[in-house]
Amino acid sequence: MTINPAAPAICARAVRKSFGEHIVLDGVDLTVAEGTIFSLLGPNGAGKTTMVRILSTLIAADAGDIRVGGHDVAADPGAVRALIGVTGQFSAVDNLLTGEENLRLMADLHHLGREAGRRRIAELLERFDLTGAARKLLPAYSGGMRRRLDLAMTLVGNPAVIFLDEPTTGLDPRSRRTMWQIIRELASDGVTIFLTTQYLEEADELADRVAVLDHGRIVAEGTPAELKRRIPGGHIQLQFAEPDALQAAAGMIPNASPDDDQLVLQIPGDGSVASLRRVLDELDDAHIDVEHLSVHSPDLDDVFFAVTGHAATEATAPQEQEALQR
Amino acid sequence: MTSFAYTFADSATMLRRNIKHQLRYPSLTLMLAGLPIVFLLLFVYVFGGQLGTGLAGHGTGGRGAYLTYVVPGILIVTVASAALGTAISVASDMTGGIIDRFRTMAISRAAVLTGHVIGSLLQTLAVLVLVVGVSLAIGFRPDASALNWLAAVGVLALFAFALIWLSAALGLAAKSVETASNTPMFLTLLPFLSSGFVPTATMPAGLRQFAEYEPFTPVTQTLRGLLTGGSIGTHAIVAILWSVGIALASYLWAVRLYNRRRAASPN
């Protein structure tokens, strides 16, 4: 039950899956190097969860060659299961037990033994800030606590490859940051992480490589930086009171595109404080008054426009997408 | 450890999990025990006086004779009613997220179901003790030897094992917990269409044949013979064959459903 060092942690070739008439995965190729974070990015219904379920041996692909840790998921699912940990989109915890009992259940199923199990449980409770709630039943847990327990349960067996299906969907910003920190720590310990998300920001924060899934196909793949270079969506928008000011500013700043009717100037950029300050300093030096400023960061929609030419299906505000999933 | 030892260890872990559930939420167990106890009191105190008078060859008649007659019937109602709990607990496990976690772990596939079945069997035996206790308290006086009691427990446990596997399969086949709590209901009806409550000879022709051939009758007759005397004849062997047959068919059906489940759903 070991990883073959020569093989990538995850390697999938020409993966196909349909449910009846509906084609969910239409020839997906993926390679994830050992010890890296790979993010599969896409809107709801793109096929992300199906991909995770296939890679984690829950369902079989219709076609394709899929290896995790060098083991074929179809021929030797047992060897794959011994290597992986999965935290799905919906909490995979036992609601009738306490947090500690949930971890104990995992320790027993991994045959850790009493002493080693106890140590591992205490360590995970501490690390996930659940020590205080260890003896509480699950209904008393908040969404963030459940998600942390869920991940802690996945880690009991020290998996070499972890699948996280939308690990932060539905979490508040603070819990989301905590989860990101935990994921980074896991990766620095050498664990390979396969993560799905519908947030570009999340992929950007965490992933070494990102693949964009759309209608069952990978439409773009690369490092977050490579991907962002392909996205023209990020810009600063300046609103002026006077047409003269707009013209003067447009003359000063390269690549800026003025809109004479709206008195608005768009300047491409990443929206960082340094770039903002540079633009504002320049305008200030030239005594040009800016009435209003807004920053637009590239989001999933921009990625989809850039790589597919169409908007993300069901492209709604993130809050609405979360509501749909509850 | 060998793979057999792992299967055993994983099943024991799952059993501990199910027993923990039962102890933490005893309301289901109490509900399962409540039904047969209500039937016992209803049949003995409301109908018993009249029904006892009509019993031929069962002592002097009356309420006391009917109590002696009906307890084996109540015991099989208990087994059938307790089996309902299995369908509910299996279905609620299958509709929750944790089952996917188990499926992605290198644990024995049978362990989840085995844990449920053994857990339910222990639950059923506990409920049976309660029902026998109430029967004794209201005047049930069996003339069985210790060996007869042991044999009776064996027959009940084997029959319970069969019905629990059947109920587990029905729980797996159900799409929701609500369906799972309804489909095995027919099991609680079958004891009434057997020799459990009245002798089959008093039933009209079509019903009588059904009652004589359905599995609850040989089980009841075997228990009656063991606990309160009377001839067992071929009933014991028929009871055992029914139990083994139901258990085996249900086990195969349940395992097939378990392995196939969710394989066809997109999310």
Q: Which domain holds residue B123?
A: 3-264
Test A19 with B265 for CB contact under 8 angstroms: yes
Question: What pLDDT, on a 0 to 100 scale, did the predictor assign at position B266?
Answer: 39
H or E stretch at A32: strand A22-32
Q: Whats the size of chain A, residue-wise?
A: 326
Residues A178 and B136: their CA atoms lie apart, in Å, by 61
What does the radius of gyration of chain B's CA atoms come to, in whole angstroms? 20
What band does B2 get if pLDDT is binned at 50, 70 and 90? low
Question: What pLDDT, on a 0 to 100 scale, did the predictor assign at position A319?
Answer: 37
Q: Check whether A305 has a pLDDT greater than 80.
A: no
Test A81 with B106 for CB contact under 8 angstroms: yes
Interface test with A, best of B1, B27, B98, B99 (most A CBs within 10 A): B98
Question: What pLDDT, on a 0 to 100 scale, did the predictor assign at position B63?
Answer: 87
**Can you spell out the DSSP letters for A6-59?**
TS-SEEEEEEEEEETTEEEEEEEEEEE-TT-EEEEE--TTSSHHHHHHHHTTSS
Test A109 with B105 for CB contact under 8 angstroms: yes
Does residue A153 sit at the B interface (CB-CB below 8 Å)? yes
Locate the chain A residue with the closest alpha carbon to B6: A111
Residues A171 and A235: their CA atoms lie apart, in Å, by 28
User: Which residues of chain B does A158 touch, with a Cβ-Cβ cutoff of 8 Å?
Assistant: none
Test A59 with B263 for CB contact under 8 angstroms: yes
User: Mean of the pLDDT values across residues A293-301?
Assistant: 74
Does residue A96 sit at the B interface (CB-CB below 8 Å)? yes
Type of residue found at B182: N
Of B16, B100, B104, the CB nearest to A84: B104
Test A19 with B1 for CB contact under 8 angstroms: no
Least confidently predicted of A67-76, A143-152, A273-282: A273-282
Percent of chain B with pLDDT over 90: 64
- In tens, the pLDDT along A73-132 reads 999 999 999 999 999 877 889 999 999 999 999 999 999 989 999 999 999 999 999 999
What band does B249 get if pLDDT is binned at 50, 70 and 90? very high
Test B104 with A95 for CB contact under 8 angstroms: no
Question: What pLDDT, on a 0 to 100 scale, did the predictor assign at position B57?
Answer: 60
CA dihedral B121, B122, B127, B133 (to 10 degrees): 120
Output the CA–CA distances (angstroms, integers) from residue A303 to A168, A180, A205, A214, A290, in the order listed: 20, 22, 16, 11, 30
How high is the ipTM of this complex?
Answer: 0.84
Question: What pLDDT, on a 0 to 100 scale, did the predictor assign at position A317?
Answer: 37
Output the CA–CA distances (angstroms, integers) from residue A228 to A88, A205, A300, A302, B77, in the order listed: 27, 12, 11, 10, 68
Test A88 with B103 for CB contact under 8 angstroms: no
Mean pLDDT of chain A: 86
- In tens, the pLDDT along B71-86 reads 999 999 999 999 999 9
**Number of compact structural domains in chain B:** 1
Type of residue found at A19: F
User: Which residues of chain A does B266 touch, with a Cβ-Cβ cutoff of 8 Å?
Assistant: 19, 22, 24, 50
